Structure 1
Amino acid sequence: MQEEHDLPNRILRALRFRPKGMTITEVAKQLGVTRNSVSKHLEILQVAGKVDVRQIGNAKLYSLAQRVPISAFLCFTKNLIIILDADQRIVQVNDQCLRHLLRSKDDLIGRTIQEAALPVVSSPEALAVIEGLEREQVVADIRYARDDGEFFYQMQAIPTTFEDGEKGCTLVLEDITERKRYVSDMEFLARTGRDFRDMDVTDDIYQYVAQELYTLAPGFLVWVGIIDESDQILILKSVVGNPVAIAVTEQFVGMKVEGMAFPITKADTAELIRHLKLVKGPPLYRLMHMEIPEESCQQVEEAAGGIDTYLMGLVSRGRIVGDVGISIQAGTELPNRGLIEAFVRQAAIAIDRKIADDRLRQSLAREQEQVRNLLFLSRTAMDFIEMEDSVDIYHYIGDRLHDLTPDSIIFVCTLDAERREIRFRGVVGDREQIERLQGVIGTELIGIPFPLSEMLLSGSGVSTDRIFESPSLYDTFFHQIPEEHCVQAETELGLGRGFGRNFSCREGVSGCIMIKLTRPGDLANREVIEAFANQASVALLRRRARGNLLRSERRFRDVIDSSPFAAAIIDSDGRYTYLNRAFTDLFGYTLEDIPTGKNWFRLAFPDPVCRRKAIAVWKTDREQAGPGRPRLRTFQVRCRDGKEKTIRFSPVELSDGTEYVTYEDVTEERRVYRTLVGEIAGLRKK
């Protein structure tokens, strides 16, 4: 009997050293007892939960149950443990659970979980898991919401067998709220990190950062400020928050909050953005860098019922690029503090990169603009050089200026200093706008002379060689168009500011350009306009000089053409550039017959010997006489009709190497001379 009583312990010792398990036969053989006895005791041990059994084919394989006594289990774990019987009555709870639930054992033991009205485990989700529990344990995440927030638990429902063989259930609850949040936070930061990475140049990163911060800490206002190092100011790039709070703030401070700028040169204000963590900020007056009246700041705080503001610097690579501010109701706790700080650090790097990228793009844009400007000026310079006199240079100037300032109307004027008047030579811009303008002012402008004295009275600064501003359309038209018409035109066409630039040269001002913007804002491309105006000034001077020269040449040729003496103009390279009518009448040759000196000598001196002699004499006389001194020589020249004439040549070399040659027919004079010489000789013989 003693051996039979000790048999359960012997069976447990045998199984302890066979972790893979033993069959009934193996246990009986090892202990030297019958199979029936071993089988009976194994069933009792299984019911007691001390052994586990697995079915392998027809055989049952027994092993020690890996279980810990409930008393020990309840003590060493930090989780919340509730043990239920088959009727879901509470059998046992551990101390951690009692402290967490703020309940005593007397309140819970013997009650069902529905009667105890326990949080979390009495929820429909938890009850569904418990009621559906079978042989295997079940793990489920339970969400529980209460007034102070949202909490998460992981619940393990474990089938349990008591020592008396009764079935039950052990609930193990682990508070995973914080874990659910370093996961939620990581998901948030992963998403924002992707968003920062995928942003393009059109996305407003400051608005994005402010909006995400407001999502994490909803309250009154959230703002993002950026430092402009060149001007030493802090600019509020984005402000997000409660619309009422924003409206009240703007009402009291008297301006739009977004875009406000504050100086940061003072040590006490600059220090506000040097925080690497969220810190509670000073009152609104100091937050506004003392740029807003203190009374107005106090009114804003009173209207909000008190404001607590938290600040944190945007720090990247050890450098402050700006700050963020969060304003909430005074006395309330700032939520998601750790996540906000992590996000601000993440945003600081993204904003710093954004600023660097923007600067790089701006630098590249400036370089590209400079290249475009150089190409523009290079093209216009070549156009001015190659421009024929038949081209309307004034309209060309207006077109190119309109290329530089598309939203404008361009007026190109010339100045006649002798007549003391100015005239509009070209009006360029949108055709419909020009027609509306001319309809309002009642004139087409082109060709109308305006007295110079009125232009001076208008204050347009005609003596300057820089871009000047013309205050109104009335001034642009030099007070020659009724002022009420000018005001009407400005209103109907929505005209903006006006600018002017003179055409200046060595001789003074030859005209000007007037630019009237058809949009608000300032004049762009000033440097290019200045350079182009200088080009145009030179081109107009060249055209005027060329016109004067052409008129002078025409007068000179008219004089030569009316001369009774034959004359020719020969360039320094031997080309005949002009023959007067008397030359053609005398010799019969035209410019087509003798385009060069070589052609002249070949036709006028067909005999080679005579030709070489004439050429040699011509060269010798030219070298000996020099510029400005006439040379007289007489040659026998063959005309186009084959007749020969005795011609007295009178060539004069001008200062530029050109030769002006006159030709006198002395054939009859020589014939008479030879006759007289013959008669005199005959008389002497007699």
Structure 2
Amino acid sequence: MGEGPEKLREIRRVLRQNPKGLSISDISRKVGLNRNSVAKYLEMLLISGQAEMRTYGAAKVYTASQRLPISALLEYSSDLIVVLDGEGRILQINTPFVTFSGQNREDLLGTDLATSGLPVVTTPMVLSGLDDDLTGEVVVPEVAWGDERIFRAKILPTAFEEGGSGTTIILEDLTEMKKAWKMRTFLANIVESTEDAIIGKDLDGKIVSWNEGAERLYGYMRDEMIGRTLDPLVPPENAAEMDTIQDEVEAGRGIDRLETVRVRKDGSRVDVAISVSPVRDEGGRVVGASTIARDITAQKHFEEEQRRHAEETAVLSKTAMGFVEMEDDDEVFGYIGRQVGKLLPGSTVVVSSYDRDLHAFRIEAVVGPDGEGGPGGELVGTHFPMTVREREKARTRLYEEVEIADHPAAALPGASNGGCMYAPLVCHETFLGDVVVLREGREGKEKGALIEGFMRQAAVALHRRHARLALDRSRQRARTLLNASPDLVVLIDPGGAVLDLNEQAGRIFGQAGKERAVTLHAALDKMREEVLNVGRTARGEVQACGKTFEVSMTPVRAADGRVHEIAVFLREGGAEPERPARARQDPRVSGRAH
């Protein structure tokens, strides 16, 4: 490598280290070159835009350039650009042009354009523009290259900073734009047959085309709208929207989908989705816009239903988990009141249980507008009889405007404002309680379906609570009966694992020791397999804990008919184990011994 590039880099380094500037003599001393050599290198840096010179009287001060060289600026453009000197030789060429040409940059620089073999710019149409004495921009609208690529060529006279002049050629690829134009031309042929409203307007916003779809959607006939603006269709609150659309169109950009509201001729409003595309002439200039509008009323309604359904599902899923995780059975009533209060803010909620034996309600919780115990909390524990009103309501649903004059909550605030919301809690035709909602206003009706869903959850939770309590009582009675039995009773699962046993069995087998317990299980396995295979009671006899037991093993079936448990009854019986014989003595001998 020659020393020229090395000296240039050294001079650039010295200039960057001295931002206030240096004279030729200063630079000469720092890099160890004579003044003439330094002056030559500085001239090269000035021409390439890498250095700047300022004059102070007779002195010249050089600094590192803060500007990008033209070669760097060219790389920011996606167009194909080539810069020629005054003799028509290639001075600069950007990377997109090099890539498109498939040639080597170093081979192109300094060569004559006409003999360079560069695509597009060496066609007769472009070269003819170079023959003229350029005084301004020359545009070649379309230059085809091959069968697929189309360019617009711009030829500009160029003056260089260091002096002299040249030419810059810019190639703008129109291929995709031309394809889009052809597609728009094709689509224009089917505009009148589409269901969508398609409207064309110029850059002044005046309507130039109005199809039958627009007539159906907006109610205005074609003759009523041609030459007018879209202002009659736009609600006052959306006026700024039109300015935004106009700005985008004038900038040559489109709007893919904008969901908004428009006004029909009869004054009614309609939800629409509009798409706006700039319309260009053959020269690529934006001359107007095309708007396609589609009625999305049904879609918006569906989306709102989906949103509400998702919201309700999330709420019900959360509240269902709340019921499942609730440890205190009595807390369910307070939970019901708080959740209804969240769904209907500002309400007082009264929750009651129903006692079937007494045929009466009992107020379990009163939740105020703040989510805490509300006014009338002293009513908790109050009993009141079931009336005809409640008896007629056979399922859980939400009733509006219900009079509650016979309810203890009738004296609370909000109870006398035109009726209350009322929901009986009914599950499997069993009346479990009710909920009374006292509201100051009438808002909240749109949440009726969600509230009813929650009420059904609450009724199921209460029904399960009743069933659980009944099951606990049943199990307690069963255990009492088992413990009263003289037999030993053991409950096992189909695999033979012990699930439960009564007190008698617990006393005997609890003292049997591990080895005897294993032996007992082994003895019962054969009978257990017989019960599972045959599906009926098996009987036998086992030896355990030094005793003989008569065994009765009975399958316990669930509602699905499968054997979920096996009850084992052991009764002590059979012959006593043989004891060692003792020698008998003659009484007379015994007597003589005395």
Q: Please classify the TM superposition score into its range, dividing by the shorter chain length.
A: 0.3 to 0.5
- Give the TM-score normalised by the residue count of structure 1: 0.39
Larger Rg belongs to = 1
